[in-house]
Chain A
Amino acid sequence: MNQNNSNYLENLRIRQGADSLRRKFIDLAARHRQKAIRYLNHDKLRFPTLYLLMPDIQTFNLYDELIPRNNTAIQIWAKKSRDFALAFRLERLLPQDNETNRAALKWMFDTGLYWDGPSNFSENFNAAIDTAAAMLIATHKDMTVLPAVCELIFWRHRQGLLIHDLVWGFFQSYEPDSMMMIAKYLNTGDAKDVELACRLLHIDIPDSVDAFTAHNHKNLFEQYKSWFYENNPYLRFTGEHFLQTSEPNPLYLDNEAKYLGKRISPKDGLPLENVTPDETACLIQFRKASENDQEILSSYSARLHNRDFRLWKEWIMSNISEQVSTAIAEL
């Protein structure tokens, strides 16, 4: 890869625009093919520039000489454009190693964020960015992109653009802490951001978001934060998304796990710690309680568990009606 500090094609796109970039690239590729390839493979090239030149790369059939970074990006575009013949051809050119693929996706995402290209180009471009984000998160388990994906979701929403695939990709992390990235937007004071944050977190949207004061925004955030940190170890992702329902609830709170103080896997809800025979006996009693009492018991249990483990052990071994009485008295 060329290590020079600037790239001719990047400069063209930024200074002269997409049309001029394409005209000059076509001229260059026709007369100096190797030079055109060198510019495309340059380490300073950004994804929007490659994206704009994809039809011309096809015209000059440059694929065999492009680096995997570029061919990975073109392959994703080919699949989004339903050009499966090209996608298949590129598959044979690409090395089958995870790191090359991850680095290419990261390059697409990092250098393509917030590009506001010509309208006839930008939709498939955004689709490619969504795919890069989702593959980084779901396939490569690269959680470093989550803050940027979260910012991009809110930015796109402000522009009235599609966010659903990006939201879906974000939740593929199965990372409960990612919810706090969204929750921060409850505190921004921007009505559109607050409304979206409420939708994504599945909390009631205030009646009049516009009339909301900064103080109220802070309260909304603090309430969510408090709920989240109390319940974080006992949350699992439900898999609900906007394709299925207008009000997806991304998280399910496992009150049984909370009652026993046992962490669960956020992806499948399975316990991450062993449950002893004594705890199983407690759980049998817990299941006989009403739904309302179960909520009271689990809330009190979590607080007592954190405050005084010895006292909690005594409390949870007492009979269930005594547990409920203590919990109601002390909550």
Chain B
Amino acid sequence: MITIGNKPADTAAISSEYPANSLERVIINTLAASSKTYNYATKERLQFELKLRREIVNAAEELYRSHLKFRTFYNSIRNEDYWIRKPDGGFALRPDVKPSDAIRDIYSNSHKYGTECATAMLMVYYKALLEVFPEEAFNKIFRDIYLMNWHRIEPELREVSLMQSTYDHLPGDRRYFRNPDVNPETPEWQGENVIDLGGGFYYGHGIGRYMAPMFIDSLNQNRIAYADESAYLLDSVGRPNFDRLFSLYQKYSATASSVSA
């Protein structure tokens, strides 16, 4: 069930603002049909989450179609015009470039980049945020981007690195396939971070865009000899803190409006 300001929301009216069969309608319908009550302070806050989830899915689809290579952290590669490769295999933003340009470069020069699945998730989140936030705001908020895995992450995105239990799975969620019996020669296949694209499809860098059984089969092919446990999809999800991001969005949008006015 969806409530706005603690009152039941007119979900039909909100849905009608989006095309039939759109991702936004799928999300609204899932929330509305849930046994859990999803309370939003304002309609704008709900619309913000729908927009960001849509852009997360778009960014994931775009990265899937790109030429980003799969490399372990030991062999990761990047465009050195924008990123400094650190000894742990992560990429730190060069101090002399704009964050927005560096994120766009990953997509426009994807053949110059190669990394693991967790880094690809961060690339997706930053690209989605770049589509939602005004560019100037994005560059002010995300000045210290470090692309690796969840070990070093900016506070604004901290929650995507933590898995939480959930009543409902939604497009734009981060999910994780775990491979408990992975071959110790290939620890990079101990699991796969994916973005839920909706319709039962997931994108995970290194495997691709498939439904869950294909991810499980791929991971199972990288198990230790005589393995007895299959890979599986965890129920928990990683989600950005939409409330905090919406507050930042409002703050910077208001600043931008007052400047332009």
Residues of A within 8 A of B (CB): 76, 79-80, 123-124, 126-127, 130-131, 134-135, 137-139, 159-165, 168-169, 172, 239, 241-247
Find chain A residues with CB under 8 A from B188 CB.
Answer: 165
Min CB gap A88→B, angstroms: 14
Offer 17 A-B interface pairs, CB within 8 angstroms, sorted by A.
A123-B89, A126-B74, A134-B184, A139-B224, A161-B87, A162-B87, A164-B149, A169-B187, A241-B190, A243-B149, A243-B191, A244-B191, A244-B234, A245-B161, A245-B163, A246-B149, A246-B153
Please indicate the chain A residues that have their CB under 8 angstroms from the CB of B74 in the complex. Answer: 80, 123-124, 126-127, 162
Is there an interface contact between B163 and A243, defined as CB atoms closer than 8 Å? Answer: no
Verify A135–B162 contact, CB threshold 8 A: no
Closest to A87 in B: B185
Min CB distance B3 to A, Å, is: 27
Q: Which of B87, B178, B187 contacts A130 (CB 8 A)?
A: B187
| Contact (A246, B162) CB under 8 Å given A160-B88, A162-B87, A241-B191 | yes
Q: Which residues of B contact A241 (CB under 8 A)?
A: 190-191
Is B242 in the interface zone, CB < 8 Å from A?
no
CA distance A300 to B149 in the complex (A): 40
* Closest 9 A/B residue pairs (Cβ): A246-B161, A134-B184, A246-B150, A138-B184, A127-B74, A162-B88, A123-B74, A165-B187, A160-B87
Q: Which of A79, A135, A239 has the largest number of chain B CB atoms within 10 A?
A: A239
Question: Which residues from chain A contact B73 at a C-beta distance below 8 Å?
Answer: 162, 164
Residue of A nearest to B153 (CB): A246
**Interface contact B178-A172, CB-CB below 8 Å:** no
> 12 new A-B pairs (CB below 8 Å) besides A80-B74, A138-B184?
A124-B74, A131-B185, A131-B187, A135-B185, A161-B88, A162-B73, A162-B87, A243-B117, A243-B118, A244-B193, A246-B151, A246-B158
B36 within 8 Å of A by Cβ?
no
A247, chain B: closest CB distance, angstroms: 6
**CA of A233 to CA of B183, assembled, Å:** 28
CA distance A242 to B161 in the complex (A): 9
Q: Find the A residue at minimum CB distance from B71.
A: A82
Q: How many whole Å from B117's CB to the nearest CB in chain A?
A: 8
User: Judging by beta carbons under 8 Å apart, are A134 and B163 in contact?
Assistant: no
Cβ–Cβ contact B184 & A131, under 8 A:
yes
How far does the Cβ of A183 sit from chain B's closest Cβ, in whole Å?
20
Q: Which residue of chain A has the shortest Cβ distance to B150 in the bound complex? A: A246
How many whole Å from B95's CB to the nearest CB in chain A?
A: 18
Among A127, A163, A247, which residue has its beta carbon within 8 angstroms of that of B72?
A: A127
Query: With the chains together, A118 CA to B121 CA distance in Å?
Result: 32
* Closest beta carbon of chain A to B218's beta carbon, Å: 15
Judge if B126 is at the interface, Cβ distance under 8 Å. Answer: no
B184 pairs with A162, CB closer than 8 A: no
- Inside 8 A of A242's CB, which chain B residues have their CB? 149-151
Expressed in whole angstroms, the minimum distance between the Cβ of A98 and any Cβ of chain B is: 11
Interface presence of B176 (CB below 8 A): yes
Bound-state CA distance A130–B240 (Å) is: 32
**Residues in A neighbouring B244, C-beta threshold 8 A:** none
Q: Is B75 an interface residue (CB 8 A)?
A: yes
The reply to whether B178 and A76 form a contact with Cβ atoms under 8 Å apart is no
